[in-house]
Amino acid sequence: MTDATELRHLIAGEWQPGHGDSISSVNPTHPSVVIAEGNCATAADVDSAVGAAGEALTGWARTPIHERGAVLLAAAAVVERNAEAWGLELATEEGKTKAEGIGEVRRAAQILRYYGNEGDRQAGEIFASPRAGEQILVTRKPVGVVAVITPFNFPIAIPAWKIAPALVYGNTVVWKPATTVPLLAIRLAEALTTAGLPPGVLNLVIGESPIGEALVEHPDLAAISFTGSTTVGRRIAASAAARGVPVQAEMGGKNAAVVLDDADIELALDQVMLGAFRSSGQKCTATSRLIVTEAIADRFLSELATRVDALVVGDPTDEATQMGPVITGAAQRSIYGGLGTAMGQDAEVLAGGEPYFKGLLAEGFFVAPTLVELAAPADIWSDELFGPVLAARRAADADEAFALANDSDFGLSAAIFTQDLTRALHAVEDIDVGVLHINSESAGADPHVPFGGAKKSGLGPKEQGTAAREFFTHTTTVYLRGGNAN
């Protein structure tokens, strides 16, 4: 017998089974427990979904933005009301702790509220004209049918921050979530339909990468918003560019925390622990590199190692647990593989590093929280492992520390720990990232400010805040004069 949820797709306002292969999501803590199961979508289902989104487009685009926003506000209330229950489901399906899961569901509600209120904010701009009797208005229009592709690691917050702006600005959406977290995808789509979203405005198709490909290559798309790996993001962008379809891609990170001599050490230890190990390090904004200046390095690394060893790893639904499993067995193997390579390249393990051999931690997809020190560059310094692994290096001074922070093809986020304003301002100038934290952990995002990375981490307009409007709308510049020739 099974308590698994039936996996369904939302097409043209109807919840329906897929027509593809059978598929299931499992609990990464107890991989024999199935969370959701059913059939994945097919390319024909994707085609129906894009068709439904196309049919719904004109009606939705003509609905006043205030009314579109009201649907998002009603959905926010549904999400908020279910935060405890869905947060627990999220922890069970994705593996982050229950507190993080509930926090993420609340964050999705906050994002829906932010964009829900967008309807009552500025709609465009007005400029003076160089010609007498004329004004120039810049109005905004939706771009059309948008494909949204989301990763496993924020199963409700990332979808919310793509779907909410797409919808409020009048676009219709076909959404393909990661197949490891379909339950939370179904929950968010249900919240929006319960809130009164008209049929076809949001369509949900669940499937593996061939379904993603069928979606992003569909000829009727106007734009694609993607979060995931740099390899996939660039592939999507290349094929979309050939068809003139804009892409917003949020991709990998190899984010550094830099701890300078004058930092508040307790604060830095707390924040580095959060940045590296919350969500088992599975955030594109997680701290995976640590740079410590020589004068404090021995003390900092030894205290950090003690904290890493003391981290409570276990079932994420237990109150006491501080870190759960990673998402799949494949992810677990790839993280340990990356660690094995690091060992072969002279990394010194300061904490963790060994697989678990017995009990729950051996049954689930657990990876020991790990701190390694590198005396010289190694693959683990440049490659994203997407797990609870932190690689540390020492720097002689702040200049060398900032140079090491920039020593990455990625540029999503960084965290600098210092009490010296001058050094903090140098970091703002010198460190090439999309998100910089001064004295806080490298992860985190707010709905009203731009989110996204520099270098290999991001492509296209940033997400969230007014930046989202740049991607999900286009402008019409209106030269406005009175109709009287005199």
Active site residues: 250
Please give the structure tokens belonging to residue 320: 């006491």
Amino acid identity of 272? V
Nearer Cβ to ligand UN1, position 46 or 185? 185
Q: Are 36 and 182 in contact (CB under 8 A)?
A: yes
Nearer Cβ to ligand UN1, position 48 or 150? 150
CA-closest candidate to residue 265, choices 440, 400, 417: 417
The vertex-108 CA angle with 226 and 417, nearest 5°, equals 80
What CA–CA distance (Å, rounded) separates 48 from 8?
A: 14
Amino acid identity of 327? I
Nearer Cβ to ligand UN1, position 42 or 97? 97
Helix or strand holding residue 279 (H, E): none
DSSP state, 153? S
Nearer Cβ to ligand UN1, position 69 or 275? 275
**Which residues contact ligand UN1 by CB under 6 A?**
151, 153-154, 158, 227, 250, 283-285, 443-445
Nearer Cβ to ligand UN1, position 20 or 452? 452
- What lies within 8 Å, CB to CB, of 85 at 6+ separation is none
Token pair 């990394």 is found at 347
Q: Are 324 and 280 in contact (CB under 8 A)?
A: yes
CA-closest candidate to residue 31, choices 84, 88, 95: 95
Can you give the length of the chain in residues? 486
Nearer Cβ to ligand UN1, position 151 or 314? 151
Nearer Cβ to ligand UN1, position 364 or 453? 453
- What lies within 8 Å, CB to CB, of 213 at 6+ separation is none
Token pair 């925390």 is found at 257
What CA–CA distance (Å, rounded) separates 49 from 204?
A: 8
Beta-sheet strands, E only, within 229-368? 247-250, 255-259, 287-293, 348-351
DSSP for 175-202? EE--TT-HHHHHHHHHHHHHTTPPTTSE
Please give the structure tokens belonging to residue 159: 């979808």
